[in-house]
Amino acid sequence: MEWRYSPQELTKYWRVGDSFGFVKSDDQIHNLSNAFRLKLKADEIEEVIVPNAEHLKKVKREFPDLRGKVRIWEDVS
């Protein structure tokens, strides 16, 4: 299962199916979405599933508060 939060307010900045200009730069996406982000604390997150060991290491490094909650997909399925 995958869950994503996509604020309706951001849809005016890009459209699915529009091959010209659909993909914005990371900086543009970051700046546009900053005001609409969900604010979650680590204790509100039960589990994070990642595709492989490389992603596991990255999430543990970038989000140390989630270390005991991150698992690899093959360990869950």
The verdict on residue 3 lying in a domain is no
Task: Check pLDDT > 70 for residue 51.
Answer: yes
pLDDT at 58 over 70: yes
pLDDT in tens, 2-46: 566 666 766 666 555 545 555 556 677 677 777 777 788 888 888
Cβ atoms within 10 A of the Cβ of 14, count?
A: 14
Residue 46 lies in a domain: yes
Q: What range does the domain containing 56 cover?
A: 40-77
Question: Would residue 64 count as lying in a domain?
Answer: yes
Are the CB atoms for 42 and 66 separated by under 8 Å?
Answer: yes
- Residue 59 belongs to some domain of the structure: yes
2 within domain boundaries: no
